[in-house]
Amino acid sequence: MSDITTGNGYAVGTLDDLGDGPGFRKIRPALGVTAFGINAVVIPPGIESGRHFHDEQEELYFVHRGQLEFVFNDEERFTLGPGGLARVDAHTVRQLRNVGDEDAVYVCVGAKDGYVGRDGRVPEGEENRARPIAS
């Protein structure tokens, strides 16, 4: 297992740096995230999460690997594979099930109080443009 690397204003690592086997991988404390909650979760085949909702935070789920069935309010069901996204209001009851044949891995981001807007800027004297990487 590698370590998380931190520097002046950044932290980098991998999900493997945060643990192994099934369960939660706590991204927020490991990388020093302070503006929102974020975890990765590994769910073995045939396992489902508990039903839950939140008082305040909206969540966004990103399916990294596997096949997950999302159940909302015990009624609506959606199966999402790699690259799948689901946004869930705080009070919506949700449950996840691994309906595939391999471990499913998803990342969940939770926050409240909205989007801060487009506040990205280019450093002084530089242009914001895509360019080939110098070799």
List, for residues 84-132, the tens digit of each pLDDT value: 999 999 999 999 999 999 999 999 999 999 888 888 888 898 887 777 8
Give me the CATH number covering residue 67: 2.60.120.10
Q: Does residue 26 form part of some domain?
A: yes
At residue 39, φ and ψ (nearest 5 deg) are -140, 155
The whole domain housing 43 covers: 5-111
**pLDDT value, residue 2:** 63
| Tens of pLDDT, residues 48-64 | 999 999 999 999 999 99
58 within domain boundaries: yes
Residue 85 belongs to a domain: yes
Domain assignment present for residue 55? The answer is yes
Residue-wise pLDDT for 6-16, tens only, equals 999 999 999 99
In a domain, 129, yes or no: no
Q: Is 0.75 surpassed by the pTM of this model?
A: yes
What total number of domains does the chain contain?
Answer: 1
